[in-house]
Amino acid sequence: MKRYASLLALVLVFSMVVLAGCGTTPPAAEKPAEPEVKLPAQVQAIKDAGTLRVGVKADVPNFGLMDAATGEFKGMEIDLAKAIAKRIGLAEDKVKFEAVTAKTRGPLLDNGQIDLVIATFTIKPERKEQWNFSEPYYQDEVGLLVKKSSGITALAGLNGKTIGVAQGATSRDAVQVEADKAGIKVKFLEFATYPEINAALESGRVDAFSVDKSILSGYVTEGSVILPDGFSPQDYGIASKKGTDELTKYINDMLTEMDSNGEKATLLKKWGLN
Ligand code: GLU
């Protein structure tokens, strides 16, 4: 009987131990670490550098315009650059904007001074051989700005006249194709910058100023007008150094997302571009 009692006690003690064990909360399971989004190496390199260096226009209203007083850049292309920085995990103020022209943007990419060009840069097959381009984010067409006093109302009125275009821009070829179609003869004068072409228009050195309409819109004055003709549609893309395919894909993914979630439409609306 005594043996039986001690056996019972043993069983009781054992069950208590087991029950007590069940009662204690198991050690908190290690929370699985949030899977860190691994950036492609070319994008990570920009993040590690701490700044995203972007070539933008300083004189194209609604795309890339620099406030001369504050040095601040504004426009749709500026917002695109900020969106890329945000996606990478860089703060807005870590985007370093560099004013570029049609002539300087390619060389600045080539010599590594900037990571991206978001500057009304038209995607063209021959340019794609030199630089990487994203999918298009905007389409514009080439136009002509003339003085109202010239009485010119259409491209046909430019027969025998001189047209000012920018070096390194697509405008000259585009106008030549249209002039050939219209059966007119035109001459060209090339300039390094748009303000120089505009000054030449003002002074009468050229009879028309030709470039994408978005760019022309920044130069319209009381005395000048953009002709209704528009030709040679231009797709704008975000350019980076040749071979930066991971970076281009990363940007393309962002553009696709911005298209489908409505962010792109909001951005265009914000800058009056839709
Ligand atoms: N979009 C045209 C080009 O890429 C016009 C020039 C410019 O963007 O300044 O050639």
* pLDDT number for residue 19: 47
* pLDDT number for residue 217: 87
Pair 127, 148 in one domain: no
- With 50 as the cut, is the pLDDT of residue 114 above it? yes
Side-chain-side CA neighbours of 26 within 13 Å: the count stands at 3
User: Which is more confidently placed, 101 or 16?
Assistant: 101
For residue 47, count CB atoms less than 10 angstroms from its CB and return exposed for 0-12, middle for 13-18, buried for 19 or more.
middle
* pLDDT number for residue 14: 47
Instruction: Please say whether the beta carbons of 64 and 116 come within 8 A.
Output: no
Kindly state whether residue 203 falls inside one of the protein's structural domains.
yes
Pair 125, 254 in one domain: yes
Q: Quick one: DSSP state of residue 58? A: S
Cβ of residue 121 lying under 6 Å from some atom of ligand 1: yes
- Closest residue CA from atom 7 of ligand 1: 102
Q: Which is it for the CA torsion 81, 118, 129, 257, positive or negative?
A: positive
Q: Which structure tokens are listed for 199?
A: 């000054």
| Each residue's pLDDT tens digit, 150-189 | 999 999 999 999 999 999 999 999 999 999 999 999 999 9
CATH of the domain at 58: 3.40.190.10
Question: How many domains, in total, are found in the chain?
Answer: 2
Pair 46, 101 in one domain: yes
* pLDDT number for residue 37: 75
Pair 253, 210 in one domain: no
Pair 107, 243 in one domain: yes
Range of the domain at 204: 141-234
* pLDDT number for residue 28: 53
- Ligand 1 center to 58 CA (angstroms): 13
Q: What percentage of residues in the chain have a pLDDT greater than 70?
A: 87
* pLDDT number for residue 266: 97
**What is the helix, strand, coil percentage profile of the chain, to 5?**
40, 20, 35
Instruction: Please say whether the beta carbons of 60 and 120 come within 8 A.
Output: yes
